[in-house]
Amino acid sequence: MATPRTAAHASAPGLRQLTTPRAAAVAGVLFAVLFGATIILIRLKMPEGVGDSTTWATTRAGSISIAAKLMPFAGITFLWFIGVVRDNLGQYEDRFFSSVLVGSGLLFLAMTFCSTAIAAGLLAMPGGASDAAARAAVSSFGTAMVASTCKTYAVRMAAVFMVSLATIWLRTGLMPRWLVGTSYAVAIGLLVAGEVSMWLTLAFPAWVLVVSVLILVRSGALDDHR
């Protein structure tokens, strides 16, 4: 039952019910492009192993710097994507699975931010350091941190995000079964083989792209029927 204050607010002139703009679904597409470009730039320009080479920090600094600047915008679009997904669930949203969904999404974002920030920090090391051995050791440690943060933690949080959303879709029937099955398959692959290569991280933005396009198509179809 609405309280007098709620009723007064509902009837007050100039107040409107907030609705998610249809264009917000484009956020997932932007995230897929920006995040994918960031991963590709870092993986191509920074060695994935823990070798003692530090030449990449000077010869490939430009590309990694671009990746570090793209990542915040990728994070912003991912937050919008989470909002679009929850809006798409509407009244069918379950608090348990939604809590896991949002938590894993935010942890994924935090891990990717940390990974990119470490890569950017390595570029900030003074190039003329007198102790070459110390510089090489710091570079090797930082490179290992970038790979570990991305492959071990961020990828697995992305997998949990996918499993949570796929489970909601399975129980509610909001999305087709082929997407649910694909989501489970990709998530299990990331959970099991996430540390094999940083390239596997690209499976997540590709999945986000598919989901975003499907939401856009469905929202357009709904608008046509109205």
In which band, very low, low, confident or very high, does the pLDDT at 177 lie, cut at 50, 70 and 90? very high
In which band, very low, low, confident or very high, does the pLDDT at 173 lie, cut at 50, 70 and 90? confident
Q: What is the mean pLDDT of the chain?
A: 79
Q: Which residues of 101-124 are buried (b: 16+ CB within 10 A; e: fewer)?
A: bbebbbbbbebbbbbbebbbebbe
Supply the pLDDT for residue 33.
94
Residues in the chain: 226
- Top pLDDT among 15 and 3 is at 15
* Among candidate residues 42, 31, 27, the one with its CA nearest the CA of residue 199: 42
Q: Tell me which H or E stretch contains 128.
A: none
Q: Are 163 and 187 in contact (CB under 8 A)?
A: yes
Mean pLDDT of 203-219: 89
* Among candidate residues 101, 61, 110, 57, the one with its CA nearest the CA of residue 82: 101
Supply the pLDDT for residue 123.
75
In which band, very low, low, confident or very high, does the pLDDT at 78 lie, cut at 50, 70 and 90? very high
Supply the pLDDT for residue 77.
93
Supply the pLDDT for residue 181.
94
Supply the pLDDT for residue 206.
94
In which band, very low, low, confident or very high, does the pLDDT at 185 lie, cut at 50, 70 and 90? very high
In which band, very low, low, confident or very high, does the pLDDT at 46 lie, cut at 50, 70 and 90? low
